[in-house]
Amino acid sequence: MSPTSEKRRTLIRGASLLGGPPTDVLIEGESVAAAGPGLTAEGAETIDAGGLVLLPGLVDLHTHLREPGREDSETVLTGTRAAAAGGYTAVHAMANTFPVADTAGVVEQVWRLGRESGYCDVQPVGAVTVGLEGKQLAELGAMHDSAAGVVVFSDDGRCVDDAVIMRRALEYVKAFDGVIAQHAQEPRLTEGAQMNEGAVSAELGLAGWPAAAEESIIARDVLLAAHVGSRVHVCHLSTAGSVDLIRWAKSKGWQVTAEVTPHHLLLTDDLVRSYDPVYKVNPPLRTEADVRALREALADGTIDCVATDHAPHPHEDKDCEWPAAAMGMIGLETALSVVQHTMVDTGLLDWAGLADRMSARPAAIGRLGGQGRPVAPGEPANLTLYDPAHRAVVDPSGFASRSRNSPYRGLELPGRVTHTFLRGRATVRDGVPT
């Protein structure tokens, strides 16, 4: 932050705070100085925000930034530019890099690259096991005690399928209130799987990925978390049965949280009939009934938050035949639009509810004290201005991300982020990262 940052003053005029009546917000330095109608601030930069919704900066619990090792897909710089363009002020960078983020040295490297990028806060996620191999616990304590202060650990991309290893990880992180974020996928039930197991997979002749492969791991892990008295977070929930298990675990008072991706709130396995590898993702796109259950669970709070699982890939890893294609979709720059389309425009969430699921709750799960805060005097000025009335056809060629594997190409979606502020500094102006 520059030495003059304390003198920076911005007046946001006439924004709808969380969808409420128009109000003004004055930013001074890194904080919100005042909020209310009729504010004045001589010499401040003024933004006419009439018709815009003002939200706290979004927080993503599940982002693949690919650096170090796969900079052909994404870098911390390009990924955080994409995050800012999507309204995010903080992201959690997953551990499946090359080398794997399983030591204090690697997580500190990612953390420092995030600080240098300046577009949003980057909180590294540490690996649970060495090399993501599921055999030996990684340096969980050392990563937590590092400058990066790692709190969330995950082997995402792979499941911690050994129950003994999972129990030990839960026991270890309990000492510092850490959380194990599980990629729920029983590997023996998904070997060679290509898509959701069901009517469409049978019709297409593609190896099916049963819902039970996800649900069986969730059932085991919520029981382990209850036994240990530790925190478990379930990544990218995708089935109605998984929703039932999370709802049951929460009814017991266990320390269980869960996320859903934008693509699992909107897309179904019917799209695989096109054999377009852009729709190949882990976990796979499921049925319309699963989509309905996920939306309802996000609305009633059973699912805590939306996480993008932003998974960039270079062109050659996606522009190939379906069986050989990499799994994953990008999502940082479209997440807010998809959630507006599936949850707000359908009446399942209001704007305050959206802010809770996309900012406050993910910040709380990841223990990010300066993020996900209310837009109020004295709070950090991590803010997003959003135009919900805007509509446009998605064109990934204009994205800030280095990759283009968006499943929404050619789809008309609502909304546009006009401005993003990270501690009072505009990282996006008029829809363009600065």
Is 65 annotated in some ligand binding site? yes
Is 310 annotated in some ligand binding site? no
Is 313 annotated in some ligand binding site? yes
> Locate tokens 């377009």: which residue?
276
Beta bridge partners of residue 259, listed in sequence order:
305
Is 236 annotated in some ligand binding site? yes
195, 280 Cβ separation under 8 angstroms: yes
237, 286 Cβ separation under 8 angstroms: no
Is 282 annotated in some ligand binding site? yes
Contacts of 55 (CB under 8 A, 6+ apart): 18, 87, 351, 354, 355, 358, 359, 375, 383, 384, 385, 386
Is 309 annotated in some ligand binding site? yes
Is 156 annotated in some ligand binding site? yes
Catalytic residue selected from 121, 221, 304, 309: 309
Q: Name the CA dihedral angle for 215, 217, 219, 223, rounded to a multiple of 10 degrees.
A: -170
Contacts of 199 (CB under 8 A, 6+ apart): none
Is 405 annotated in some ligand binding site? no
Q: Is the Cα torsion angle 58, 62, 67, 72 positive or negative in sign?
A: negative
Distance in angstroms (rounded) separating the CA atoms of residues 361 and 357: 6
Per-residue b/e over 343-357, b at no fewer than 16 CB within 10 Å? bbeeebbebebbbbb
Is 58 annotated in some ligand binding site? no
309 has catalytic annotation:
yes
Paired tokens of 91:
């992201």
Strand pairing class (45-48; 53-56):
unpaired
Is 385 annotated in some ligand binding site? no
The letter for the amino acid at 248 is W
Distance in angstroms (rounded) separating the CA atoms of residues 415 and 433: 17
Per-residue b/e over 363-393, b at no fewer than 16 CB within 10 Å? bbbbebeebbbebeeeebbbbbbbbbebeee
Distance in angstroms (rounded) separating the CA atoms of residues 294 and 300: 10
Residues making up the annotated binding site for substrate are 64-66, 96, 282, 313
Question: Which residues are catalytically annotated?
Answer: 309
Residues making up the annotated binding site are 62, 64-66, 96, 156, 183, 236, 282, 309, 313
Residues making up the annotated binding site for Zn(2+) are 62, 64, 156, 183, 236, 309
